[in-house]
Structure 1
Amino acid sequence: MEKMNFVEYTVKDRVATIMLNRPDKRNALNEQVVSELKQAFQKAATDSDAKVVVLAARGAAFCAGADLAYLQQLQKNTFEENLADSNHLKELFYQIYTHPKVVIAKIQGHAIAGGCGLATVCDFSFAVEQAQFGYTEVRIGFIPAIVKVFLLRKLGEGKAKELLLSGDLISAQDAREMGLINWVVKEDELDSSVAEFARKLVRKNSGQSMQFTKQMIARVQSMSLEEGLAHAAEQNAKGRASDDCQKGISAFLNKEKPSW
């Protein structure tokens, strides 16, 4: 993979870490940062050494959304240029949401606007107690358009409206109670909590099974009940023929623990 300026990619113990590294700008997003994130997630998707992905960030903020210079440039863009830029971010969110590997957000600071969007599309999220979350786009005349599609799936219409239309910032504890994030931990426990959870997924779960399950969750919500059940039955049959299923059943019958 080519050297990147604002994103770092490392793998240790079968866990890939994608690290936002623009702390002086509060890890704010621009075209290059989004491009590098897409490149890193593509690398993780095909990296046989990585079974689980952690999205993390350096500095005080997880991600403050779009940076000021980026917003200024958007004002000068044509409709076609803004559409291309919107699709760029859409592709990143969709890439994470449908990624073949489980993605864990490790949130060490505030996640605002597009940064909150990043947290939204991850599969699991750990945040420190002092982190704040919010979609503040409406306060600057912007529209939280792309994240809305994912947030409606995650929280439902009522909670999505509460967040998107108010533009309010909420605490990590409120975000957890709302279902926006999964766990709130003390600052000095963030690294160990994420590492322990990632290790559990790596050691105890079939990567193939997690991939199929994640992909089905993404797909069946847009199907009718009949279509969803037919798709589920088909995937169930395919899953039974997979190498991981054969291995897991054999281990279970022999009263052994499968080595994933």
Structure 2
Amino acid sequence: MYETLDLSVDDRGVARLVLNRVEKHNALSAQMIAELTQAAQRLGADDAVRVVVLTGAGKSFCAGGDLAWMQQQMAADPETRFAEARKLAEMLQALNTLPKPLIGALQGNAFGGGVGMASVCDVAIGVDTLKMGLTETRLGLIPATIGPYVVARMGEARARRVFFSARLFGAEEAVELGLLARAVPAEELEAAVEAEVVPYLSCAPGAVATSKALVRDLGPRVDDAAIDGTIRALVDRWETGEAAEGIGAFFEKRKAAWMR
């Protein structure tokens, strides 16, 4: 059914949604964005599904936005850029509003959009060797569409430490920042995730869904106005000379003009 994802559901109703572009470190392509949106809608509507575990295949959880996809946006007209940015925003919101518990199992590194994916999980657990980073500014871009979820997860004060420096940080700091609930050795990841899953199997599914919606309403609002603002910010940034230089430098395997 999916080309960039693997999806399975066990007899308890625990779904496992696996990012599966191993050769690209699970970077978010247009196809993966579309398939994640479809999968979130499908899982949300399936009464047999009680919990969803989001993870990745291979060495990385998610390397962020696919740079070939970003390069296409640089060459596109503003209307196309806006439409593509909206698809990314809608995918994140579909996962964020999934009416089932969403448990992130970060078996490897998460950069850029991968940090955003971790931030829409209700609980994210990572291996203790992983690296994370909001690396967009190194490319002349900004962490726009993921921004509301990252800031909601970390809070503004902690977000300021890593949101615009492109600095990489490890699992211990990710726990301190609130991105991860726990960091565990790789061989303990499955057990740690299972410990998060099991309690939900004794809970009323409707009560869980309503409670999840309530906590979103009580916390920082990620509404249409905020999402539209991030889309506009991303589209505007794609049109800058810095973005052209940053993306160009990456593909030309050279340092961007601002790098020291």
Same fold at TM > 0.5:
yes
Q: What is the CA-CA distance between 1:48 and the residue it aligns to?
A: 1.9
Paired residue total: 220
Partner of 1:7: 5
* Paired residue type of 1:27: N
User: Identity over the aligned pairs, expressed in percent?
Assistant: 33
Q: What is the CA-CA distance between 1:114 and the residue it aligns to?
A: 0.6
CA distance in 2, matches of 1:164, 1:91: 21
Q: Report runs of 4+ in structure 1 exceeding 4 Å deviation.
A: none
CA distance in 1, matches of 2:79, 2:93: 21
> Does the CA-based 8 Å contact 2:152-2:220 persist in structure 1?
no
CA distance in 2, matches of 1:6, 1:153: 28
Larger RCO (CA under 8 A, 6+ residues apart): 2
> Does the CA-based 8 Å contact 1:93-1:121 persist in structure 2?
yes
Measured against aligned partners, the alpha-carbon deviations of 1:205-225 in whole angstroms (never above 9, x if no partner) come to 2222221111112123468xx
Tell me the SS of whatever aligns to 2:145: helix
* Paired residue type of 1:4: Y
* Paired residue type of 1:194: V
Partner of 1:180: 179
Tell me the SS of whatever aligns to 2:8: strand
Q: What is the CA-CA distance between 1:170 and the residue it aligns to?
A: 0.9
Q: Identify unmatched segments of 5+ residues in structure 1.
A: 224-260
Tell me the SS of whatever aligns to 1:127: strand
Q: What is the CA-CA distance between 1:125 and the residue it aligns to?
A: 0.6
Residues 222, 22 of structure 1: alpha-carbon distance in 2 compared, 3 angstrom cutoff: closer
Partner of 2:240: none
Measured against aligned partners, the alpha-carbon deviations of 1:43-90 in whole angstroms (never above 9, x if no partner) come to 111112210101011000000011222122111011111111111111
Partner of 2:237: none
1:1-260 maps to which residues of 2 (within 5 A)? 3-12=1-10, 13-203=12-202, 205-221=203-219
> Does the CA-based 8 Å contact 1:148-1:160 persist in structure 2?
no
CA distance in 2, matches of 1:222, 1:199: 28
CA distance in 2, matches of 1:197, 1:158: 28
Measured against aligned partners, the alpha-carbon deviations of 1:135-176 in whole angstroms (never above 9, x if no partner) come to 110111001111111222222211112111111111011100
CA distance in 2, matches of 1:124, 1:222: 17
CA distance in 1, matches of 2:81, 2:97: 24
Q: TM-score, normalised by structure 1?
A: 0.81
CA distance in 2, matches of 1:61, 1:130: 11
Moved more, 205-214 or 118-127: 205-214
CA distance in 1, matches of 2:176, 2:153: 13
Task: Specify the structure having the higher radius of gyration (Cα).
Answer: 1
Tell me the SS of whatever aligns to 2:183: strand
> Does the CA-based 8 Å contact 1:113-1:137 persist in structure 2?
yes
* Paired residue type of 1:180: L
Tell me the SS of whatever aligns to 1:194: helix
Residues 175, 222 of structure 1: alpha-carbon distance in 2 compared, 3 angstrom cutoff: closer
Measured against aligned partners, the alpha-carbon deviations of 1:81-138 in whole angstroms (never above 9, x if no partner) come to 1111111111111111111111001100001001111001111011001111111101
